Amino acid sequence: MAYPVRDSTSISIDDGTVTVRGWVQEIRNLGGISFILIRDRNGIIQITAPKKKINPDLFKQLTSLSRESVVSVSGEVKTSDQTKLGLEIIPLSLEIHSVAESPLPLGVVDKVNVEFDTRLNHRFMDLRKPEVKAIFELKSLLCKLISEKMAELDFMQVQTPKIVATGAEGGATLFPIEYFDKKAYLAQSPQLYKQMLMSTGMDRVYEIAPAFRAERSNTVRHVSEFISFDGELAWIRSQKDVMAVIEEVMQYTISGIASRGTKYLEVIGAEVTIPKAPYPILSYSECLDMLMGEGMEISEGEDFGTEGERLIGEIMSLRGNDMYWIVEYPKAEKPFYIMEKEGTAFSYSFDLDYRGQEISSGGQREHRYERLVTRMKAKGLNPESFGPYLESFRYGMPPHGGWGIGVERLLVNMLGLNNIREAILFPRDVHRLIP
Ligand code: ATP
Ligand code: MG
């Protein structure tokens, strides 16, 4: 039997009565009548208990429930113009699954301002707030949209190891771990493995997986564990082929969030604007000029830094561009696996910035063994510690390129959130290992 209550997984119909299962969000006792709000994943429904019309024991039980207790309430559904949903339930029976203690460590509906740290300390409770949970519904949708588009573009989804023997992104941010009698690390990125896959004939791969960085800097955009959406593709003619794929995926996912995520965007109060495409391409030196023009002290070869990126973002917003590429970075700034632009100080690399924040780095990789080894040495790395990686370049490696995109950075900038931790269920940083 179809029942027009709501799109809920926790409501069931049995002979004209319904059962809702959820958390007791609020109880309002007005003497002769009581209202109990039950919250589940999909929303809130009101239980209306008129004292005279229902069983006295049931009334007593209902009105003495503690906030956030978990219950099932069965009853009759009635239309109501007093509730947001347009429906209410007149209770017939109650089952208490779990009684919540009082006081609560954190209010779910209280409008008082709570420190973010307090929210994170009691994250399970914080996640009960519809506006917090909605971020993760959208993150889930975002990953689904990415996978949809990548499948359409014929990319294989892969999984590479997160326990590794060598770092790919520099020693400073490696997390060492004990691995039996050997030293190992948590993977900073799937870089080496996705490149090795290019030598196998799996010529388009992607991965959505955790990446670990021992980031000591305490910023709103760095954490120790984030989700990286990585892609690598072979047979590219230049980094432009890689950029084209990213642009297509970004436009698809952002439009998808705007059109399929409306229910959650409303809860958060966020509006998603679809970036203007094609994304403009700025060169590193153009950006330097922009920054100098703004009076920033920065010299050739230097990283723009957070402030620089933010300023460039402001200028680009004024031009109507939320998303833009920055290319032609000095090769000294880029990792060993990036291809150099011969005879210049530049590399075939790009960053993708979204409203003043880097969300992705990528480029064409050096696929020629000798040059790769030369580049490694120039970066002060020992090729011997990259043995298994390098081997895959010695027996046939196609030209290739790829990227890494921080999923949380993408989401946070899309939704206008101000801290990357808002988009991580249980964030990890220098100061936080629990919960
Ligand atoms: P940044 O300069 O912002 O520290 P990065 O250049 O070190 O970033 P890459 O190694 O290029 O980062 O990683 C690719 C992407 O992964 C970044 O563009 C970003 O979206 C994401 N990312 C990198 N480090 C972190 C981190 N510590 N926390 C969250 N996301 C990160
Ligand atoms: Mg980068």
pLDDT in tens, 172-198: 899 999 999 999 999 999 999 999 999
Query: How far apart, in Å, are the Cα atoms of 312 and each of 306, 362, 379, 405?
Result: 10, 19, 29, 19
Pocket test for ligand 1, best of 226, 309, 407 (most atoms within 8 A of CB): 226
pLDDT over 80 (residue 401): yes
- In tens, the pLDDT along 232-277 reads 999 999 999 999 999 999 999 999 999 999 999 999 999 999 999 9
Residue numbers annotated as active site:
213, 215, 221-222, 358, 361, 409
Q: Does ligand 1 come within 6 angstroms of the Cβ of 213?
A: yes
Mark residue 349 as left, alpha or beta (left: phi above 0; alpha: psi -120 to 50; beta: remaining).
beta
Distance between Cα 405 and ligand 2 center (Å):
9
Of 167 and 424, more confident? 424
Residue 9 has pLDDT above 80, yes or no: no
Residue 16: pLDDT band by 50, 70, 90 thresholds? confident
Task: Give the pLDDT band of residue 13 (cuts 50, 70, 90).
Answer: low
Q: Give the pLDDT score at 113.
A: 84
pLDDT digits (tens, 9 = 90+) for 318-359: 999 999 999 998 888 899 999 999 888 899 999 999 999 999
Task: Kindly tell me if the per-residue pLDDT of 11 is higher than 80.
Answer: no
| 403 Cβ inside 6 Å of ligand 1 | no
Residue 399 has pLDDT above 60, yes or no: yes
Q: Are 157 and 207 in contact (CB under 8 A)?
A: yes
Calculate how far, in angstroms, residue 226's C-alpha sits from the geometric centre of ligand 1. Answer: 9
For 304-308, what is the mean pLDDT?
Answer: 93
358 forms beta bridges with: 353
- 17 has a pLDDT exceeding 90: no
Distance CA 167, CA 298 (A): 30
Q: Given the structure tokens 């520099």, which residue do they identify?
A: 170
Burial 103-117 (b: 16+ CB within 10 A, else e): eeebbbeeeeeeeee
Ion ligand 2 residues within 5 Å by Cβ: 361
Tell me, what's the pLDDT at 2? 44
pLDDT > 70: percent of the chain: 97
pLDDT digit string, tens, across residues 285-294: 999 999 999 9
Q: Say how many Å lie between the first and final Cα of the chain, rounded.
A: 43
- Residue 82, pLDDT score: 86
Atom 25 (ligand 1) nearest CA: 222
Mean confidence (pLDDT) of the chain: 94
- On the question of pLDDT at 171 being above 90, the answer is no
Q: Which two tokens stand for residue 151?
A: 């499948």
CA atoms of 184 and 178, how far apart (whole Å): 6
Q: Whose CA is nearest to atom 23 of ligand 1?
A: 406
Centre a 10 Å sphere on the Cβ of residue 76 and count the other Cβ atoms it contains.
Answer: 12
Confidence of residue 101 (pLDDT cuts 50, 70, 90): very high
Would the pLDDT of 1 be above 50?
no
Q: Is 406 a pocket residue for ligand 1 (Cβ < 6 Å)?
A: yes
- Cα 171 to ligand 1 centre (Å): 15
Which ligand has an atom closest to residue 211 CA?
1
Residue from 207, 409, 419 whose mutation best tests the ligand 1 pocket (most atoms within 8 A of CB) = 409
Q: Say yes or no to pLDDT of 118 above 90.
A: yes
For residue 279, the model assigns a pLDDT of 98
Residue 29: is its pLDDT beyond 50?
A: yes
> Angle of helix 407-415 relative to helix 239-260, nearest 10 degrees?
50
278: cis peptide before it, omega within 30°?
Answer: yes
pLDDT reading at 4 higher than 50: no
